[in-house]
Every structure is written in C-alpha cells, then in structure tokens.
Amino acid sequence: MTIALVKFSEAEIEIRAVRNAVFGDEQNVPEEINWDGNDEECLHALARGSRGEVAATGRLAPDGKIGRLAVLRLHRRKGIGVRILRKLLEAARVRGLSKVYLHAQAQTVGFYAEEGFQVRGTPFSEAGIAHSYMVLRLQDDGEAG
C-alpha cells in the first residue's frame, strides 16, 4: 500500500469514488456536506494498493483542519487509516502548522486519541452523526502538546 499526497485535480475520480462509497452510500451524508467546495484548496492523501486500486483518502485544509478521512470497507482494519492520518500530520508539520484539528465521528474518537488528539468541548451533530471537536498540537512547534 502506498500513500501519496496529491492535489484534488490530480486524483478527483479516485477521491470521489472513496468518499461517495463511505460517506454517501454507507453513512448517508448529504452530498452538499460531503462535497463542500473546499477540495481544491486542500492537500489530499490517497492510498493505493499494489495493483493501483484506490483504498482510502483524507485531506488537510490550509488552516489545519484534517477531514474526509475515509477507508473503503474492504481495506479497513489494516492500518491504512492511521497511515493516511500520519501522512497528513507530516504534511501539516512541513507547512509549519502549530496545530491541527478535526471533527471526529463518535466511533472514531478513540482512533484519533491514540494519535494524540484531544477532545475539546461537547459533542455535536454534523450530517446527523455525533461528532467531537479534537485538536493536536504539533510537537515540533516548540510548544508542549
């Protein structure tokens, strides 16, 4: 499995396939939320298998928001999601961001907590799904995490 950082325009078809399957088909997230018009300004991570098949994606916005992390069902529980997340965190550090944040679905809070993210505030609903706001201070900015 390889993880590459790409522009949306370079991999739009693959990114759309993953997000439509996970957020659209599985979770019934409304299209206007899944496709919020912000993809062009974001950096995307894309996981591909040895035969070039797409397996997962995620994005990093210029302000440090990590989002749209999605792994196709066939590829779950193989460590691909954490590899996508770590690639995005590496990109955030390279860009000099002092922190990153995200809106974690309730069932993924533990996944992000294992990578050092901390819940801030109270849970909220987004697209009819319970979420928590989570933040991670990046260690190489000179501040304690």
Q: What is the pLDDT of residues 80-122, one digit of tens each?
A: 999 999 999 999 999 999 999 999 999 999 999 999 999 999 9
Mark the ranges of the chain whose per-residue pLDDT is less than 50.
141, 143-145
Look at the block and give the residue holding tokens 């974690």.
104
Ramachandran region, residue 125 (left: φ > 0; alpha: ψ -120 to 50; beta: rest): beta
Asked if 1 and 48 touch (Cβ cutoff 8 Å), the reply is: yes
Q: In 10 A of CB 138, how many CB atoms?
A: 20
Q: Report pLDDT for 145.
A: 41
Q: Report pLDDT for 139.
A: 66
Radius of gyration of the chain measured on its C-alpha atoms: 15
> H or E element: which one contains 12?
helix 8-19
Superfamily grouping for domain 2-141: Gcn5-related N-acetyltransferase (GNAT) (3.40.630.30)
* Tokens (6 digits) for 12: 């739009």
Q: Report pLDDT for 50.
A: 87
| Residue count of the chain | 145
What is the rounded CA–CA span in Å between residue 123 and residue 133?
7
Question: Rounded to two decimals, what is the model's pTM?
Answer: 0.91
CA max distance for the chain? 43
Map out the domains of the chain as residue ranges. 2-141
